[in-house]
Every structure is written in C-alpha cells, then in structure tokens.
Amino acid sequence: MLIVTAQDIRRYRKNLLSEHEAGTLYECLASLEKNPTLADVYRRLAQTEASHAATWEAKLRQAGAGVPVYRPGWRTKVLCMLAARFGISFVLPTIAGIEQGAGSHYDGQPESEAAKMSAQERTHARIFGHLARTSGGLEGSEVARFEGRHRAAGGNALRAGVLGANDGLVSVFSLVMGVAGAGMGSQEILLAGFAGLLAGALSMALGEWLSVQSSRELYEHQISIEEQELEENPEEEMEELSLIYQAKGMAADEARSMAERMLSDRKTALHTLAREELGIDPKELGGSAWEAAITSFLLFAFGAIIPVIPYFFFAGTAGIAASVLCSALGLFIIGAAITLMTGRSALFSGMRQVVFGLAAAAITYGIGHLIGVNLG
C-alpha cells in the first residue's frame, strides 16, 4: 500500500489550487470571448483543468485529508481584469508561459504522469502559444487575429539588416572619433577602423551563427518530442490539433475531421503538428546558420566602412569632417529605413538617429582627446 506523507498532501493541495486557478481563468476567457468557436476552445480547456482538479481532490480524500475551499487568487483576478480591459490577446503570452511552467511542474510526479497531466498542460501551453503568436491584438477582428500580418518573416529580416548596419556604423564611427580625438594620424585611424570593423563583424557573425544553430537544434529536439508523443498518444495529438484548428475559426466537427485527415499519414502528421503546434517548418528549421552568419558579417561591415572611407582621401581635420558628414548621412538613411517597420516620420527617425550617433561619437572623441593630452 502506498504511504501518503504530509509532503504529498501539501503537493496535492498545491496542484489542486493550480488547476482551480487555471480552470477559473479559462472560464473567464470564455465569458469574454466574442467568437463562439474560440469561446468553446477555452471552455474545453477549462473542462480539462476541472478533471485534473477532480483527480487531486480524490487523492486528498483517499489520504483522509480535507479538501480546501477554493477562492480565486490575485493573479487570476488580475489576468481576468486585464483581459476584460485590454482584450484577451493582451494576456495570452502570459498564460502560455504559466501553462508551460505547469507542464514542467508535473514532471516527476507519478500521479500526474499516470493521468497524462504533464502532456496535457504542455498541449495547453502550445495552444495558448499559438493563439498568442497569431493574435493581431485587435479584439473582435478575426482578420487581424489570425492572418499573422504582424509577424512577417520579411519584416524580421529587414529589421535585422537595418540594425546590423547601424551597429557597425555607430560602433566604428565612435571608435574612429576616439582615435582621432587622441591626435593619431590617418594611418593609425585607418588601422583602428579596420580592426574595429573586422572584430565587430566577426563577433556579430559568430553570435548569429550560434543563435541560428541553437535554434535549429532546439527545433529538432521539439520535433523529436512531438514525434514521440504522436507515437505514444495519437488521440491526444488529434485532440490538440483539433483545438488549434478551432482556434483558427473552424467549427468543432470540421476541425476534428481536418485533424483526422492530417494525422492519417505519419510523415504528413509530424510535419503538420510541427507547423501548427510549434510554428516550425521542418524543411527550414530556422534557416541556415552559415547564411545568417555571412549576412550578419556583411551588414555590419557595410555600416562600419562608412566612417573609415574618408581617411583614404583626407587627413587631419578634413578627414574628421568628412568622416562625420559621411557617418551622419549613413545614420540618417538608417533612421529613415527604420520607419519601414515603425511607420513613423522618416525625417524624425532619421534626425533622431543622427543626433544619437553624433552624441556617441562626440563622447568618444572627447575621451580620446583627454587621454591623448594626458599621454602626450
């Protein structure tokens, strides 16, 4: 006979409270949701949490321990209030994180593993993650919520390109001005500029390679877990995929039928689950790490070469002035390019970038001048 300890009873009560909190929160979302299909998704999730709560209540009764009276906690009340005030999409990322933590919390608990609670909580986390990713943040507008127009890959690539060039320009411009302020000649400034360009570009390339490669390895691990879950719990995966299709606006019967068709072939099923649940394209897995590294190197170098070029043609004060003018022009263009992502005034964004860049260069020039005077 299994002996239930005082520590086990405390754990049961903690788990019970967590399930009650989640169920209450999902019922709140269901009551606020204007789309009946999504409201049904939230209610079904709440029913799952209620069944989990019933399991822990039964465990407490079997152990002869009292079942505490549930009262909603402050976090549940605050999240419901925020959802009511700002829209459900405002709280979805937070709820996805809570569910992910709940799945990890159940790892190693034999009672929860037997009831498949950990896997179900992770399913909930993926569903909320999917809703959070595809939500456009405009409550009541299905187009904005599900077309995902705010997550275009092209926008991310543009952002990375602009910021990479900006990093190269600002960092090397500041470096060049610091060396010029110390009273160094054109050759020394060119040497320092190219050293800064190479060091920064290589650092950016290595960082980008590590980032993309780590993402690929993480995606591969997630897909392997999904493959294992598909093998062990096909019905659960079908239910999970059905809920995701419902979250996209399908009727319950249509979503179930679609999920059954998608999971009829194992290879197609795995690719579908990876795309729909994890947001991963198995054919790409986040792109090529080497392509990202080379692109990052070139973009940084492109920005970094701008303040260095004038020193091939000018020396002394003329070289400093030419470098400042070229860098200011480059900063303005980069600032204007940022408006493609922000939608703000190109003139305002460009001038703001120029002011910040010149301020950074002025600081390093002043520090370089002080060091040069003291060393001299």
Q: Are 224 and 309 in contact (CB under 8 A)?
A: no
Residue 209: what pLDDT? Answer: 87
| Cα–Cα distance measured from residue 42 to residue 193, given in angstroms and rounded to the nearest whole number | 57
Please give the structure tokens belonging to residue 207.
């960082």
Residue in the block written with tokens 């003291």: 374
Q: Are 113 and 233 in contact (CB under 8 A)?
A: no
Q: Are 273 and 289 in contact (CB under 8 A)?
A: no
Residue in the block written with tokens 């070139």: 298
Residue 129: what pLDDT? Answer: 67
Q: Model's pTM, two decimal places?
A: 0.52
Residue 191: what pLDDT? Answer: 92
Please give the structure tokens belonging to residue 81.
């209030």
Contacts (Cβ under 8 Å, ≥6 apart) of 375: 182
Residue 31: what pLDDT? Answer: 93
Q: What domains sit in the chain, N to C, each tagged with a CATH number? A: 6-146 (1.20.1260.10), 153-214+290-375 (no CATH), 215-278 (no CATH)
Backbone angles phi, psi at 279, to 5 degrees: 70, 30
Please give the structure tokens belonging to residue 117.
């609670």
Per-residue pLDDT for the chain (376 aa), expressed as one digit of tens each? 467 788 888 888 988 998 899 899 999 999 998 888 888 888 888 888 898 889 889 888 988 888 899 998 888 898 899 989 888 888 887 787 777 666 566 667 777 655 567 667 767 766 776 676 665 333 333 323 333 333 333 444 556 667 788 899 999 999 999 998 888 888 888 999 999 999 999 998 898 888 888 877 877 777 777 677 667 677 777 777 777 777 667 777 887 787 777 777 767 777 776 766 666 666 666 567 888 888 889 989 999 999 999 999 988 889 899 999 999 999 999 888 777 655 567 788 889 989 999 999 999 999 988 887 565 5
Helix, strand and coil in the chain, % to nearest 5: 80, 0, 20
| Cα–Cα distance measured from residue 346 to residue 363, given in angstroms and rounded to the nearest whole number | 26
| Cα–Cα distance measured from residue 203 to residue 199, given in angstroms and rounded to the nearest whole number | 6
Residue 362: what pLDDT? Answer: 92
Q: Are 243 and 221 in contact (CB under 8 A)?
A: no
Can you give the length of the chain in residues?
376
| Cα–Cα distance measured from residue 350 to residue 357, given in angstroms and rounded to the nearest whole number | 11
Please give the structure tokens belonging to residue 102.
């709940």
| Cα–Cα distance measured from residue 252 to residue 159, given in angstroms and rounded to the nearest whole number | 39
Residue in the block written with tokens 């922000």: 342
Neighbours of 277 (CB within 10 A): 23
112-115 contacts at long range (C-beta below 8 A, 24 or more positions apart): 112/15, 115/52, 115/55
